[in-house]
Amino acid sequence: MNHPTFLYARIFSIPAVNRTLLVALGLLLCLGMVRTQAQTFSTVEEIPNPKAMGQGYLSDPTGLLSQTEFDSITHVLERLERRTGVETAVVIIPDFNENEDDFSFATELFRHWGIGKAKANNGLLLLVATQRRQYRFITGYGLEGILPDATLKTIGEELLVPAFRQQAYGAGILATVRTLSDYLQRPDHERELSSLLRQYKPQQSTDWSGFITFFVLVGLSLLAFWQLSGFTKGASVKIIPNRYSEMLGLLALGLVIVVGLVLVILFFSGSFSQLFQHFSELLPYFTYVTIGFVLFFRQLHTLAHLRSQYRDDQTFFSAVQKLFRATWWQVILSPPTLLYPVLEKIRSQRSSSRFTPLLDSLGQPMQRLNRDEATDRDQYLSTGQRMEEQLNSLTYDVWVSTQGETRVIPHPADTFEQHPVCPACGFRTLSEPVTLTVTRATQHQAGTGKQVRICRHCKHEVFIKSVVKAPLAEQRSGSSTLSGRSGSSSSSSSSGSWGGGTTGGGGAGGSW
């Protein structure tokens, strides 16, 4: 039945009029198919604008997609704009001007339509040329950081190319726009997109919440600083070395290093401009972190001052408890300050045995002398013991009885490990290692020195090791060499810099 002669006979058995109509209909269908497959858009003005036609986001002039695919893609893009503000256009055409590449034609189309919100530049275009077998993403300036070229390239290769090779254009585009919608609605990306839209929304009232929070935080911090100043007001006590003063110095140095590293990273990564763009949004967070750090150091300074003001540990612990009871609310502004009362509570519990009354030779309880209240608080200590307390290597509890009996009990203080025992006088008053000159260095001869510890009580020297000092000529030569290098480095670093210009046409493309 399928023999060509049989088919030929069947065709010519049809009446002439009907046969003519059938041939004409076939020619029209063939011409329509040829036109559909070969339609070329020479300029971007020839491509129908879906916004102008009331079709939303999708331009499919040849009707390549089914109605279900068209509606599904439009629904995804509509929801994406409603939630993030991103305007997305999808264009499906057979071919375009043969004298232009996909990048140039897509970029021209993007700018001709003006995809994206004004000034926010948050537009996205996907151009598909089926006959040329090419696709191209184009992003606005505002999306270049959120949708890098590499990300779009990956999405295209994994979703578009496999589907397009099977001529499943609608399925490939639908999977792509769904992936892009989910990607752009991730929380970290939504915040950045929202800040772009808030910055350029017309006729929008100013959001004062950030500034109100800023002034509230500043007011609370001033109240906190005023309250802390009341614990050190009118006192002229010199802060002696203690654990709090050492922590204060180390934390200040660490903060300077961290801030310096952050500034260097921001400078070389080019993120300063982004910080300025989001300044009003970040102001409350920046203020809170800054106040937290400053208040942390201010409380640490107050503790160091109290430690120097009260020589008696029991009195000091009472003063610290009073401080924490009055300033407990400051933990809201600076949560790390909660560490102080916890540590002091542990320390006071460990020291509680020190304050248990001793018994004298008659078995009667002795009374611990509060040396911060005593008229002559140092009368029970020798000069060496007073020097130990001055260096904060040891602290002494003095117990007295009604019978006139006295006991002096030593306890390790904050700098106990830094001051070894002097072999001459027996007090823990040796200084940290210092270098003394024995013979001075000249221009042609090295000098000698010695590293020693000096007793702050009896001035006894404990030898550690010998030291050789380089001749003065070598020292000057090294100094000049270093300064020369420093000058050269400074000159080189200032000879050029990046200008930080703008760019357009970000995106990615490919073929299948």
What's the pLDDT tens digit per position in 229-280? Answer: 888 775 555 555 555 656 666 666 776 787 777 767 766 655 555 555 556 6
Cα 458 to chain centroid, rounded? 53
Handedness of CA 111, 115, 120, 122 (dihedral sign): negative
Residue 147 has a pLDDT of: 83
- pLDDT tens for 43-57 read 888 888 888 777 778
The average pLDDT across 5-19 equals 46
Residue 179 has pLDDT above 70, yes or no: yes
Mean pLDDT of 299-315: 79
CA–CA separation, 354 vs 399, rounded Å? 11
pLDDT at res. 481: 38
Amino acid 59 reads S
- Which three-class secondary structure state does DSSP give residue 413? coil
339-350 vs 279-309: helix crossing angle, rounded to 10: 20
Token pair in block for residue 152: 């779009």
Least confident of 140-144, 263-267, 318-322, 340-344: 263-267
Q: Tell me the pLDDT band of 114, cut-offs 50, 70 and 90.
A: confident
Tokens of 304: 């160091």
Residue 132: how many other CB atoms lie within 10 Å? 16
| Contact status, residue 135 vs residue 156, Cβ threshold 8 Å | yes
The token pair that represents 115 in the structure block: 């995809």
Worst-scoring range by mean pLDDT, 222-226, 334-338, 413-417, 494-498? 494-498
Q: Give Rg (Cα) of the chain.
A: 41
Among 140-149, 270-279, 360-369, 450-459, the minimum mean pLDDT is found in: 270-279
Which segment of 385-394, 449-458, 489-498 scores lowest on mean pLDDT?
Answer: 489-498
Sorted by sequence, the CB contacts under 8 Å of residue 84 that are 6+ apart come out as 122, 184, 185, 189, 190, 193, 194
pLDDT classification of 96: cutoffs 50, 70, 90: confident
Residues forming a β-bridge with 449: 437, 467
Rounded Cα–Cα distance for residues 398 and 317 (Å): 17
CA torsion through residues 340, 343, 347, 348, sign: positive
Residues 49-52: contacts with CB within 8 Å, 24+ apart? 49/113, 50/89, 51/113
- The string over 284-316, giving b where at least 16 C-beta atoms fall within 10 Å of a residue's C-beta and e elsewhere, is beebbeebbbbbbebbbbbbbbbbbbbbbbbbb
| Lowest-pLDDT range of 39-53, 94-108, 212-226, 373-387 | 373-387
Least confident among 306-315, 317-326, 370-379: 370-379
- Rounded distance, CA 414 to CA 242, Å? 5
Helix axes of 169-184 and 187-200: crossing angle, nearest 10 degrees: 80
Pick 76 or 472 by higher pLDDT.
76
Lowest mean pLDDT among 84-88, 250-254, 389-393, 402-406: 250-254
The CA–CA distances, whole Å, from 268 to 88, 143, 272, 296 equal 33, 21, 9, 30
Residue percentage of the chain with pLDDT more than 90: 9
CA distance 237 to 387: 17
DSSP state of 418: T
